[in-house]
Structures are given as structure tokens and as C-alpha cells.
Amino acid sequence: MIAPPVDLPAALADAVAAYEASGNVGALMERLHRLRDSATPDALVAAAEAWLHMPEVAGPLYERVVEHQPTNARALVILANAYWLSGRGPDVVGELASRALAADPDNRGAWHLWALTESSPRDRTVRWLQVTQRFPTDMLAKAALADNAASLAASEHDREALAMAIGTYEELWANSPTDQQRAALETALATLRNYTF
């Protein structure tokens, strides 16, 4: 007799609810592996959408998606992000981000993960600069650039990095939508402007 088809979204919701009630990661992994092994990649993508904020759920599901769709940039980025949030480390995440960039050079998430996974503070700052040049309106990337440049300036007494941090924070301030954000940026700018080597 043929088993009835599984309602994947319902089964996934049930697995997550059981995990949230018990905290049993092993049981969650067992259920996710069973579900993913009996579903198509497209069905997994649709069912997983509600759970992308949970790396312990998105990771196992998207491993199967990436296995079957190795050039799907969005899937690669989702898997890389899940790995990053679950502590898999910069090497494996950076490799996935590089694959996503090769598949889709315009995938902003891939660029963010590529910059984030660089271990050298100087090279990471340069990567964030490249991201902001590629995506000039990306305020999240500009914030990461400003933060990394400020950190580089402080740790290495780098005047160019200090100037970059100040200029980028000033740009963020000018584009800030709230008084609270502007106040936080003014504090950061005051600190940096008074910084002495």
C-alpha cells in the first residue's frame, strides 16, 4: 500500500512545536532529516519559509536544497546564514558565500556573508568597502564598514581607517530616519573625532 502524502508544512510546524516544547535538538534533527529526505527541494523551500529565522531548522532543510540545486544562490545564502548563526565558522560559510556569488554576482546577502567571514580586520574592512561600492544605498553594509573601520583605526592607529569611519558615520547620520539613530551616531562621531593616536 502506498503511504499518503505528507502535509510538509504541517509536519514541519509540528516538529518545531515539539522542539520548542522539549528543547530536544536530537529529536528535531531526526524529524527534519526524515521530512527532508521524502520531499522535493522546491517543497522544502516553500515549507521552510516560515522557519528561516531558526538556523537549527533552516540549516538541515537547506542542506538538501543545496545538494540538489548547487547553483541556487538564494539557497546557498540561506544555508550559509543558518551555518553562521549556528556557529559553523567562517571557512564553511565563506565557501558557501563564494559559491553564491559565483552563481549570482548581484546577490547582496552573498556579498554580506563574504565580507563578514573575512578574519583579518583590515581585509574585512576592505571587503565591506567593496560591498558599499557595489550597493551604494545599502545602509547595513555602510554601518558594517563604519564599525569595522573604527575598530581598525583603534587597534592599528590607522588614520585612513579613522577618516573612513568618520565619513561613513556622517553619511549614515545624514540618512538616518530617527532621532534615536542620529543621537547614537552623534555619540560615535564625537568619540572618533576626539580620538588621538
Task: State pLDDT tens for residues 86-129.
Answer: 999 999 999 999 999 999 999 999 999 999 999 999 999 999 99
Q: At what angle do helices 159-174 and 179-193 cross, to 10 degrees?
A: 160
pLDDT in tens, 149-185: 999 999 999 999 999 999 999 999 999 999 999 999 9
In the block, cell 581585509 appears at: 123
What's the burial of 143, exposed, middle or buried (CB within 10 Å: 0-12/13-18/19+)?
Answer: middle
What's the burial of 190, exposed, middle or buried (CB within 10 Å: 0-12/13-18/19+)?
Answer: exposed
Confidence of residue 4 (pLDDT cuts 50, 70, 90): very low
Count the neighbouring beta carbons within 10 Å of the beta carbon of residue 136. Answer: 8
Confidence check: pLDDT of 2 > 60: no
Lowest mean pLDDT among 4-8, 59-63, 132-136, 165-169: 4-8
pLDDT for the residue 188: 95
The span from the CA of 56 to the CA of 125, in Å, is 30
- The residue extents of the domains of the chain are 120-197
